[in-house]
Structure 1
Amino acid sequence: MGTEPGDGWAGGVGWEGWRDHRDIRRRLEQGADPEALPGGDRPLHRAVAFGSPEVVAELAGRVADVDALQDGTTALWEAVVAHRPEIARVLVDAGADPWRPVLAGWSPGRLSLAGPTPDLFELPEGEQELFETESAAARDGRRRIAALAGIDYYDGTGLACVGGIDAQEAVRRLGAVPPDAGLLAELLDHPYGADTDDSLRIVGVTTVPGGCVVTQPWGYGPQMPGVQALLSVGTVCYGMYANPKSGNQGSLVRNGVVEGWDLHPGGGPHTGTPPEEVLTAYIYASHAIAECCAHAGLFPADPRPFTGPPDLWVELPEREDYWQH
């Protein structure tokens, strides 16, 4: 009986398995389809995400088109977004085109000019370099990411980054008051043991260069639409809840109006990302909190506004419209 294409992928390949060149080559020689995994994903894209340069080179030499698309992007694009320059070089050696537009007019090559390895590809004559505004955005991104480098874990945290107002003005807009000392102490000791309604109304507020940050280590309070509407009058507020079950959930509110909901800060650029947001999504890929700061124009000097202690702990008044968009 002949070997059917894909038989060599039997049993699947774990993340670490994509670094095992000998095993991947054996699978390919046993009939594994270099163009598709059983679930439909392209093996080359999977190897770019998790594999070694040797595995990527093996697959790149076997596919019909090294620039074939998966979910609208090429393997080289994914290598650039993942900051894997060694993988990108392997793909270019195999024939991938760095200057082919892939997403909203951006090519992997031009995108890389804003990343940590701007000299990854040789800029061809006539190819557009970054505009000064784009170069400035990249510099600002590196500055924000470096300042927040100490934030390692933030699941369960809610936050709102507000441009142009300080902590005192945020407290005034929210109508907040000092919290009950006993409840605050209980929350700090056992953040998930208090009554949900009470805990959601206690938030930390900190002034940072460019505006202020409202945080809650134990819930989504700062991201509630009613809270962001109050904070964003005459300015912009970008909120996020780091949902432990479903990932980062972002929102953009400008002058009291919700302009974006169910956003994905830190998720990187993907098919459907608007052209004007591709660069921002690339700069802040895997740096969700830094991206929240970018949307509000904040430049925190260190992680304290997000990791604590805040400048002020305050309690929001009871309201029924915090969840009204």
Structure 2
Amino acid sequence: MTAPPSAGWSGIDGRGWADLEAIRVRLEAGADPNSGVYAFGSYEGKPLHFAAEWGTPETVAELARRVDDVDAEFDDRTALWTAVFARRLDNARALVAAGADPWRPMMAGWSPGRLALAGPTPGLFPIPAGHPGLTSDEAATAAEARRLITALENVDDDHMGVACVADLTAAEAVRRLEARPAGDSAIEAVLADPWADPDAHLGIVGITEVPGGCVVTQPWGYVPSIPEVTLPLSEGTVCYSLFANPRSGNQGLVSRDGAIEDSDTHPGGGDAGGHLTADEILAEYLYQGEAVAYSCAMAGLRLPDARAVVGPPDLWLRLPERDR
């Protein structure tokens, strides 16, 4: 009988890939370093890939010397790609020392080395002679990501709903939403205790015009991310919205030209699957853990600071009853 792909590795969690002695014990007991693994829930991969993301240079080196091919791919990526994408630079260096190729092209033409050029340590690997490096557009995208993330670094987005709309003025957004200015007394009440009257307060959102479009926010709720709001805002343009659900994480919605294009997304979640385009892969790499900045960037918004997100907005609005 053929052993299942996970034979020898079942039950290991993220921290387990950092335990050198435990990894050695499994290997000596017959665990296959080349196998596929189902580990800690639905995560799937090869042992070296898991170690590249969750382990230490020592566990990476131990597995790397036992595999048949240190550059074996899983889900269109090598272990070195995984280490670079996860910004585990110590593990990336260990893989290169074991023979991994930083300049091997894979997803959408990216290689681990070229991806690293866009990250916080562009000098991680020596650039081969004649290698073009990043394009001017890619370098500009990386620079803007660093600027935007810095501008929004103090945003606490738990419970917050945000809609980032491209090429739309605040005045036009107000018209499309059929909203009216919220009274000062209502704003004072909601700011004093946003959860005192949830039904009433969910009807209030803030709007701010920014370079590239506008931002609709609700620091205490999900309303900017619901279709009743995003669909009219996206007519003739695009709207990237999210609700930072403290229980289940960031829940995203992409609306384009009045229709839902993608739902249940995870903005800032760092998904670099092979189904993405080259530009999407770069954005996923640059904006890991930065859900609001990711949504702004994907809509082409160039916020100079965090005011459009954390307030005070240009205008507080009350939405029609149907949009709550």
TM-score tier by shorter-chain length is: 0.7 to 0.9
User: Following superposition of structure 1 onto structure 2, how do residues 37-186 of structure 1 map, counting pairs within 5 Å?
Assistant: 37=37, 39=39, 41-151=45-155, 153-179=156-182, 183-186=186-189
Q: CA deviation at 1:141?
A: 1.0
Specify whether residues 8 and 236 from structure 1 end up closer, same or farther in structure 2 by C-alpha distance, changes over 3 A only.
Answer: closer
User: Matches of 1:49 and 1:13 in 2, distance apart?
Assistant: 14
- Residue identity matched to 1:114: A
Specify whether residues 221 and 58 from structure 1 end up closer, same or farther in structure 2 by C-alpha distance, changes over 3 A only.
Answer: same
Q: Tell me, which stretches of 5 or more residues in structure 2 are unaligned?
A: none
User: Following superposition of structure 1 onto structure 2, how do residues 15-26 of structure 1 map, counting pairs within 5 Å?
Assistant: 15-26=14-25
Q: Aligned pair 1:256/2:255, yes or no?
A: no
Specify whether residues 6 and 274 from structure 1 end up closer, same or farther in structure 2 by C-alpha distance, changes over 3 A only.
Answer: closer
Decide which of 212, 217, 220 is 2:219's aligned counterpart: 217
User: Matches of 1:244 and 1:251 in 2, distance apart?
Assistant: 17
Q: Over aligned residue pairs, what C-alpha RMSD do you find?
A: 2.7
Q: Deviations over 1:178-207 (max 9, x none)?
A: 3355554454344344344x3332111123
Q: CA deviation at 1:5?
A: 10
- Number of aligned residues: 315
Q: CA deviation at 1:7?
A: 7.6
- Residue identity matched to 2:254: L
Q: Deviations over 1:195-239 (max 9, x none)?
A: 44x333211112323322111122221122232233234433221
User: Matches of 1:240 and 1:49 in 2, distance apart?
Assistant: 27
Sequence identity (%): 53
User: Matches of 1:245 and 1:70 in 2, distance apart?
Assistant: 30
Q: Aligned pair 1:284/2:283, yes or no?
A: no
User: Matches of 1:84 and 1:246 in 2, distance apart?
Assistant: 25
Whether the 8 Å contact between 1:229 and 1:253 is mirrored in structure 2 is yes
User: Matches of 2:188 and 2:237 in 1, distance apart?
Assistant: 33
Whether the 8 Å contact between 1:242 and 1:249 is mirrored in structure 2 is yes
Q: Tell me, which stretches of 5 or more residues in structure 1 are unaligned?
A: none
Decide which of 308, 313, 316 is 2:316's aligned counterpart: 313
Q: CA deviation at 1:276?
A: 3.7
Whether the 8 Å contact between 1:7 and 1:30 is mirrored in structure 2 is no
Q: CA deviation at 1:174?
A: 2.0
Q: Deviations over 1:121-155 (max 9, x none)?
A: 2222443422111111111111111111112x423
**TM-score, normalising length from structure 1?**
0.85
Whether the 8 Å contact between 2:56 and 2:90 is mirrored in structure 1 is no
Q: Aligned pair 1:28/2:27, yes or no?
A: yes
Q: CA deviation at 1:290?
A: 0.9
User: Matches of 1:209 and 1:317 in 2, distance apart?
Assistant: 27
User: Matches of 2:217 and 2:5 in 1, distance apart?
Assistant: 52
**TM-score, normalising length from structure 2?**
0.85
Q: CA deviation at 1:245?
A: 3.8
